[in-house]
Each structure stands twice: as structure tokens, then as C-alpha cells.
Structure 1
Amino acid sequence: MAPNPYLLAADNPTALLSLLRENPSLASGQDEHGYSLLHAAASYNHLDLLRSLIREFKVPIDIKDEDGETALFVVETVEAARVLVEELELDAKLQNAEGQTAREKIEAEAEWPAVAKYLQTLESASSSANVAQNGSDIELPPLPEGLKVTMGTMDAAEAEEQQPDPEFRRRIEELAAREDFQTPEGQAELRRLIEEAISGQGFGDERSVRPRSD
């Protein structure tokens, strides 16, 4: 009787790799529920098997089961999640049939909090990258009491003249990359940076934010 590849994925990944090298077509197979060997390897934390399935046997990294869930939805360790996302480049934002990301489902089930926290950190880092590329993408905390900002448009010459101070940009990027960026402490520090920028203190010889004149 031929060995069951899904059982080998759980209990004997070395034997499974030998089987797949004899019959590579098994690598991308799925059972009646869409469960794949990639899902099994992720669930049982067999990291070398994960890598081999993608790199050697070319299994699609975003293969989904009948619920529209990738292997990231079934990981139980941060290490497996990190291999899938950072090494093998699985998109952590992919949603299942119910519109949940892996992080949202794992949080809802409350079984693997460390994995949920890691995926939340990835989302924060992604937001930080948006901040670095386009300041309008950041969701800033409320301004301190007594401060008011008026939005307007300016021509190209004015925009060039009012480029953000490099030191302010550097400090914003460093803060946004921190794991505690979304915490009250991180947001309080962000608010302090904004106050400094608005008041013109602490960023070079000139004010980094100047009132627009009509």
C-alpha cells in the first residue's frame, strides 16, 4: 500500500521528500477539502519541508483550501509564519472566503497569540513603509489641544521649497519601524514629534513646517 503523503507530512517529512522526488506530481496535490502538503508542513512546523515544497517542487505559495485559506492560516508557530512570509514571500494580507486575513482569523480563534502578534507587527511595518513613501498614508493621532492645522494646495515651487526636514523624516521612519508604534507610548512619541515639527523646534536650523501664506 502506498504511503499517505499527508501522514508523512505530519510525522516523517524526510520520508515525504524521498517520496516526492520519486513522484513530484504529488507535491501540489490537495485532498477533497483542498488541504495541501504545504498546509500540512506549515501546521506541523516542518520548515525545511516548507522550503522544499516551494523551491524544489514549485508548489504555489498561495495555494488555498476549500475555505480560501493559505498555509499561513494554519501555522502554530512564529517560525513557520516567518518562513512563509519573509522567506517564501507569501502575502499575509490574502483573505479567506469570509474576508478574514490570517491574522484576523488567528486572533478570533485566540489559539496562537504569538503568531497573531507577529502578523500584527508585519502590518505595522507595512504601514511604516507607506509612511516613508507618502506621508499622506499615515493615520496621525489627534493634535495636541490648542493646535490647529489648515490644509490647502500649493504650486510646485512652494512644494519644492517646503520639503520635509531630513532629520524629522528620519525620526518618523525610525519610530514607525518600532514594534511599539501602535501602542499608546508609541503614539505619544509620534505626537511629540508632530508638536516639535509644528513649533519648528529640534529639526535643523529652520522650521521644518511653515504656515502657508495666501
Structure 2
Amino acid sequence: MSGFGMAPFGANHISTTHTTSIDASTPWVAASDGNLPLLQTSLSALKLTVAAQDENGYTCLHAAASYSQLPIIEWLLTQDSSLLHQVDKDGDSALHYASTVEACQSLVTQSIDVQTRNHSGKTALEAKRAELDELIQDEDFEETDPEAVTLRRVVEYLASLSTISQ
């Protein structure tokens, strides 16, 4: 998984004694893959905190929520609960990135603000609804598509929170 983290292999590349190399993107990759030992090792080797952000403001919590890595979400939040308030450069919180109901529930249980609006003015619910609408508009859309089913469940869960708080 390239594309997130702070830099490609090069000056920031650290070789470990194992077969795994650590570079500036390793913490984000480890978080998205659910590899807690590698996440911990890479944060330490790179002298980063759990609140570190890449050039786009993306955190390891964003990465873990994106891939529904529940043990990583839990560990990160036990290290620093203020991560719940971090947003990326688009204003998206970890809840905006959460890819499953379980990831959403994990964040909500830890008291993430479900009303946080990104720079487009959308809450996580509104962003997920827009994502679902876009998916439905695709000419190849099928109701039983696993991505659509999961996204619909996320929208339903987040919508249920809105009705509870009113």
C-alpha cells in the first residue's frame, strides 16, 4: 500500500533486523493492515507519536478506521484519546473514514463527535450517504455488491445515531 505516509523509500528508510523494512509510510500501512507490532515498532523507530499525521493530515487512526482494524483503533485510543478530534486536511475525522458498522461503533463508543463537519460541510453520515448515492449511480451497480451492502449498513447505523440524539 503506497500512497500514504510521509515519504517513499529513500532518506527516511530504516532497515530492521527482520525481513520488514521501515520507511516513513510504515505506520500507516501497519495500521491499515492491522499489524500492531509493526505499528508500534515503526512509530518508535521513526520517533513518531500515535498522533502523527502524513502530509495530508491522515493519521494512523484514519487508516485503521478505513480498514476496520478494531484492535488498532482500540490501541491507538488507549494511547491518546485526543485522536478522536484529529481531522485531515479535508476536515475528515476517523468516522468519515470508517468503512464498517463495527469501526463506526468502536469510534462512537469512544465518544467521537458524530456531528463533526468536514470542509465540504458534511458529517460522516452525509458523506457516507453521498458515497452510497454515487455508488448507486454507477451503471454497473448491483444491490448485492458487498461494498454497497456494507456502505448501506454504515449509513443506517449513523442515521440511527442522529435519531437517538434528537
Q: Give TM-score, length-normalised by structure 2.
A: 0.69
CA distance in 2, matches of 1:46, 1:17: 15
Q: Does 2:66 align with 1:43?
A: yes
Deviation at 1:46, TM superposition (A): 0.9
Contact 1:27 1:59 in 2 (8 A): no
Letter in 2 for 1:114: R
In structure 1, the partner of 2:135 is none
Contact 2:34 2:71 in 1 (8 A): no
Trace 1:152-191 onto structure 2 (pairs within 5 A). none
Alpha-carbon displacement from aligned partner over 1:166-202 (angstroms, at most 9, x marks no partner)? xxxxxxxxxxxxxxxxxxxxxxxxxxxxxxxxxxxxx
In structure 2, the partner of 1:115 is 154
Q: Which moved more, 1:68-77 or 1:48-57?
A: 48-57
Trace 1:6-155 onto structure 2 (pairs within 5 A). 6-14=28-36, 15-20=38-43, 25-86=48-109, 88-110=110-132, 111=148, 112-127=151-166
CA distance in 2, matches of 1:30, 1:20: 12
SS of the aligned residue for 1:95 comes to: coil
Letter in 1 for 2:129: E
CA distance in 1, matches of 2:158, 2:47: 32
Letter in 2 for 1:113: R
Change (3 A) 1:59 1:8: farther
Change (3 A) 1:126 1:59: closer
In structure 2, the partner of 1:171 is none
SS of the aligned residue for 1:61 comes to: helix
Contact 1:20 1:27 in 2 (8 A): yes
In structure 2, the partner of 1:5 is 27
Contact 2:128 2:155 in 1 (8 A): yes
In structure 2, the partner of 1:160 is none
CA distance in 1, matches of 2:27, 2:67: 14
CA distance in 1, matches of 2:42, 2:81: 16
Change (3 A) 1:41 1:76: same
Identity %: 34
CA distance in 2, matches of 1:24, 1:13: 18
Letter in 2 for 1:9: A
Contact 1:10 1:44 in 2 (8 A): yes
Asked which structure has the greater RCO (Cα within 8 Å, sep 6+), the reply is 2
Deviation at 1:70, TM superposition (A): 0.1
CA distance in 2, matches of 1:24, 1:55: 19
Aligned residues: 126
Deviation at 1:75, TM superposition (A): 1.0
Contact 1:9 1:40 in 2 (8 A): yes
